Amino acid sequence: MTGPVETGPAPKGPMDRADARLRADTGFAGALKGFSDRVKSGDLGMLPVAVGLVVISVVFTSLNPIFLVPNNLVNLLFDCATVGIISLGIVCVLLVGEIDLSVGSISGFASALVGVLWVQQGWPVLLAIAAAVAMGAAVGWVYAQLYNRLGMPSFVSTLAGLLALLGMQLYILGASGSINLPYESALVKFGQILVMPAWLSHALALVPGVVMLIVGQRRRRQRLAANLSAPGLGGLMLKAGLLTLALEVAVGYLNLGRGVPYMFGLFVLLVVLLNYALTRTKWGRSVMAVGGNREAARRAGINVRRIYTSAFMLCASLAALGGTLAAARLASSSQQAGTGDVNLNAIAAAVIGGTSLFGGRGSAWSALLGIIVIQAISSGLTLLNLSSSLRYMITGGVLAIAVIVDSLARRSRISHGRA
């Protein structure tokens, strides 16, 4: 038995900085350099969205100044929440490399179910919502079984589901075709008018920065204690400071209008929860692994079927919840709920936000950023009084661009060895 192969003087610094080929990216300039390297190699992250949002704001504001008026933005956030929650589910299935094309129909059926059970049958509203979400979970379970047991591609099974669920929606709504939800109810108020008091929204806007500082500082200390390199404290404080400033300014601006909708707060909360689950839990790791290389995940001992089942069920449940909130937003359950561009907007938002259609790459934040882009475009086009025919064409074009960016970035990642 020989000792370890000696390779020059023992490394003194942190053990993850021992290799001579590593460039030490320290300080602000280092962070900038690392960022530009990542972008060039196809790891675009949030960049396309940020650029897109700036372009959209400039263009639409110059066409119609109302676009940037606080109350228009507040309305925009109300609209973001419903489809955004559906899009959050899409992120889950895209990450395992599958798709659910029926989220629109699930949301429509859920809204019809809430209307029928709550308004017509007199169920307590929470029970009706729970039933709708349970319906979503059941639909997702069926898709997962079709995929796991019969090997049915998800785009086929969910396409079938799209039609079947739309049929059920029309069936339970019956001849009248639409049910009005009572205006004074908490659900409709939540979907239409309830906003946070100014102090609460300002306090909540502090939270991300503070959490970032505390978590970042704790991680720094742990890493240094374990003899690993850690990012500098200055950069961390700068980032947290900028984030807090941006959020406080945004919240202050919204408070010039009606304020920050509670419904949008719920959406952001769900995004944060899913983000934690995806990045900090074993389940999330498994989701990424299954999306990246299914066979490798199986050989690592992961129960691949269970991961698919959880992704499909989560997606359909979130779609049902989104549909319920959409009904609240419109104060009605109608035959039109969930039809039209809901499906495509939800999928487009996830892709625009940076979740890959090819699986194993993306984040919960993509739903939030993507849906803001989509709704900003749709709101801007509405302000211009464009017909829905043109709106569909333009949204379709934006989706196409997002997919092209995704495909090009993937190609660039492969050629830079980061697939």
Partner 1 sequence: MADPILSLRGVSKNFGAVAALTDIELDIHPGEVVALVGDNGAGKSTLVKVLAGVHAPSAGVIRFGGRGVTLDTPAAAMKLGIATVYQDLALCENLDVVANLFLGHEISPYALDEVAMEVRAWTLLQELAARIPSVREPIASLSGGQRQTVAIARSLLLDPKIIMLDEPTAALGVAQTAEVLNLIERVRDRGLGVIMISHNMEDVRAVADRIVVLRLGRNNGVFDRSASHHELVAAITGASENAVTRRMERKEVQA
Torsions phi, psi for 194 (to 5 deg)? -65, 120
> Does 38 participate in binding partner 1 (rule CB under 8 A)?
no
> Does 36 participate in binding partner 1 (rule CB under 8 A)?
no
In Å, how far are 141, 226, 232, 348 from 11, measured between CA atoms?
A: 52, 15, 21, 48
> Does 33 participate in binding partner 1 (rule CB under 8 A)?
no
> Does 301 participate in binding partner 1 (rule CB under 8 A)?
yes
- Reduce the DSSP state of residue 291 to 3 states and report it: helix
Q: Which of 13, 15, 58, 180 binds partner 1 (CB under 8 A)?
A: 15
Torsions phi, psi for 225 (to 5 deg)? -65, -30
Residue 179, strand partner residues: 333
Binding window for partner 1 (CB under 8 A); candidates: 27-35, 68-76, 150-158, 288-296: 288-296
Residues in binding contact with partner 1, number by CB under 8 A = 44
| Residue 204 CB, nearest approach to partner 1 (Å) | 23
Binding window for partner 1 (CB under 8 A); candidates: 64-72, 119-127, 173-181, 411-419: 411-419
Dihedral sign (CA 108, 114, 115, 116) = positive
Q: Which is nearer to partner 1, 55 or 414 (CB)?
A: 414
Q: Which of 50, 296, 384, 393 binds partner 1 (CB under 8 A)?
A: 296
Instruction: Indicate the residue type of 164.
Output: A
| Residue 300 CB, nearest approach to partner 1 (Å) | 4
Q: Which of 289, 321, 326, 352 binds partner 1 (CB under 8 A)?
A: 289
Token digits for 391?
């709106």
Q: Which of 36, 71, 281, 407 binds partner 1 (CB under 8 A)?
A: 281
Binding window for partner 1 (CB under 8 A); candidates: 142-150, 372-380, 382-390, 410-418: 410-418
Token digits for 233?
């404290």
Token digits for 120?
């017509």
> What number of other Cβ atoms are within 10 A of residue 40's Cβ?
11
Q: Which of 8, 12, 19, 149 binds partner 1 (CB under 8 A)?
A: 19
DSSP for 69-109, written as a single string: SHHHHHHHHHHHHHHHHHHHHHHHHHHTT---TTHHHHHHH
Write each residue from 344 to 373 as x if it is in contact with partner 1 (CB under 8 A), else as -, in one continuous string: ----------------xx------------
Cβ distance 287 to 311 under 8 Å? yes
Q: Which helix (H) or strand (E) holds 345?
A: helix 342-352
> Does 126 participate in binding partner 1 (rule CB under 8 A)?
no
Contacts of 301 (CB under 8 A, 6+ apart): none
Q: Which of 57, 178, 217, 293 binds partner 1 (CB under 8 A)?
A: 293
- Of residues 221 through 240, those in contact with partner 1 by CB under 8 A are 222-223, 226-228
Q: In b/e form, how buried is each residue of 126-145, taking b as 16+ CB within 10 angstroms?
A: eebbebbbebbbebbeebbb
Q: Which of 303, 384, 404, 411 binds partner 1 (CB under 8 A)?
A: 303
Q: Which residues bind partner 1 (CB under 8 A)?
A: 1-2, 4-5, 7, 15-16, 19, 21-22, 219, 222-223, 226-228, 280-283, 285-286, 288-289, 291-293, 295-303, 360-361, 413-414, 416-419
